[in-house]
Chain A
Amino acid sequence: MNLTLRIWRQKGPEDKGQMVTYQVPDVSPDMSFLEMLDVLNERLILEGEEPVAFDHDCREGICGMCSLMINGEAHGPQRGTTACQLHMRQFSDGDTIDIEPWRARAFPVVKDLVVNRSAFDKIIEAGGYITAPTGSAPEAHSAPVAKANADAAFESAACIGCGACVAACPNGSGMLFTAAKITQLSLLPQGQPERYTRVIGMVDAHDEAGFGGCTNIGECAAACPKGIPLNTIGRLNRDFLKATTKRAGTPGS
């Protein structure tokens, strides 16, 4: 099939940037979206032009590197799928596809479609450590975890930190990411000692990074390629409210 791509081209962080149109003929429906971009890039290199810069790594939907706004949807039209796992069969011959980077103040564009997501690392850093003994594996039954909690924690732990929630949010808020990273620990016994200092630290880091505030719209959960549910943010809110009523410093110190 033949496609028209309109891609955001930006030489560097200081460049103004603009949408540039490319024609890509003979695209196989079995290609992944990134393979289609590879084909375009090979041609651009042969023609002596600068290839389109985009983030990618594992290409199997678990690393969280790919970050494309495809036709105004984070990771494209297929729900629960990262851009690297999106296949060209989702599009039809003659389509025009708009490709843009994540748009957020906290995610400045590095080049073309590549954004700097270190604001997420700052939030993770602010979460700190857990005081679980490392070394040899503990006896599996020494710390019982209720099945429902284990499932919910696992659901949160599925977050790959791609930033689709921020990209999709009308408020530019990173609350779904922050909530997932908080609840994957707060639902488990190993996460309890630092539970309430962690939530304050991570929410503060989130606000400091320049993300917007959450107004419970729900666009993030709809865009999330890992299906992190919206109620995860409710768990964060409850922990945050509890934490603000506790006046002690770091528990266990």
Chain B
Amino acid sequence: MAVTGIILVLFLILHMLGNLKIFTGETSFDHYAHWLREIGTPLLPSTWYLWIQRTVLVVAVLAHITSATVLAMRARAARPVPYAHRKKIHVNYAARTMRWGGVIILLFVIYHILDLTTGHLNPQGDPANPYGNVVADFAPERWYVTLFYVLAVVTIGFHLRHGAFSAFRSLGQQTPQGERRARTAALVFAVVLTAGYLVVPFAVLTGLVA
């Protein structure tokens, strides 16, 4: 979980930084999107780097889901008779929503790829003009799309809040002081990433990016 999670988190950071390029203007953003297809040239043919990265990400996602499924099935098998009365002492919303949160995130990622990568669900869907696709996507009259994005990104934020701490712990974080630091770092990271992702649809919604 930790290792595949870290690969996905590294991608999330790069993806957020790329998204924020939308504030540098249409030409710059479209040029960036085009450049993504040319990374590694002339050593690699065009779009090869992108496909290598996509392969790594798909493998990481599948391994992440597999580990999560194994853990969920073990947990279910470990308590065949449920409690009649159950109380949570340690309130940890993020940790307790990892499994269903993960399912929501997966559905969102599928929608997101069909929307802004392949363009099938995008009102504009022009591969040469990603800036225009984003602006059309988060237009005020398509508020339900923006709402879905916001909910999904917040879910990712919760997933990261527990996931980042849990990765530190799984990889051997072992002191009480380190635990406090790891929890703080995970919280700050989750908030920054959530804000970084949400700022783009809200910028389109408010007309800052048009």
Which A residues are within 8 Å of any B CB, using their own CB?
Answer: 6, 8, 19, 69, 71-73, 79, 98, 100, 103-106, 168, 170-173, 210-213, 215-219, 221-223, 229-231, 233-235, 237-238, 241
CB of B71 closer than 8 Å to a CB of A: yes
The A-contacting residues of B in range 63-92, CB under 8 angstroms, are: 70-71, 74-75, 77-90, 92
Contact present for B79 and A105 (CB under 8 Å): yes
Q: How large is the interface on B (under 10, 10 to 19, 20 to 34, 35 or more residues)?
A: 35 or more
Q: How far is the CA of A212 from the CA of B71 in the complex (A)?
A: 7
Q: Which residues of B contact A105 (CB under 8 A)?
A: 77-80
Which of B82, B171, B173, B174 has the most chain A CB atoms closer than 10 A to its own CB?
B174
Contact present for B78 and A100 (CB under 8 Å): no
Contact present for B78 and A231 (CB under 8 Å): no
Contact present for A218 and B74 (CB under 8 Å): no
In-complex Cβ contact of B78 among A19, A106, A218, A223 (8 A): A106
Contact present for A219 and B77 (CB under 8 Å): no
Q: Which residues of A contact B78 (CB under 8 A)?
A: 104-106, 171-173, 210-212
Q: Nearest 3 pairs between A and B by C-beta?
A: A172-B78, A238-B172, A212-B78
List 13 A-B pairs, Cβ < 8 Å: A71-B87, A98-B84, A104-B78, A170-B96, A171-B74, A212-B71, A212-B75, A215-B98, A216-B169, A217-B90, A217-B92, A219-B90, A238-B172
Q: Which residues of B contact A235 (CB under 8 A)?
A: 174
Contact present for A231 and B95 (CB under 8 Å): no
Contact present for B83 and A100 (CB under 8 Å): yes
The A-contacting residues of B in range 185-204, CB under 8 angstroms, are: none
Q: How far is the CA of A221 from the CA of B92 in the complex (A)?
A: 13
Q: Which residues of A contact B71 (CB under 8 A)?
A: 171, 212-213, 215
Q: How far is the CA of A43 from the CA of B105 in the complex (A)?
A: 56
**Distance to closest chain B CB from A66 (angstroms):** 17
**Distance to closest chain B CB from A54 (angstroms):** 16
The A-contacting residues of B in range 104-127, CB under 8 angstroms, are: none
Smallest CB-CB separation from B2: which chain A residue?
A: A237
Contact present for B175 and A241 (CB under 8 Å): no
CB of B162 closer than 8 Å to a CB of A: yes
Q: How far is the CA of A229 from the CA of B88 in the complex (A)?
A: 17
Q: How far is the CA of A153 from the CA of B90 in the complex (A)?
A: 24
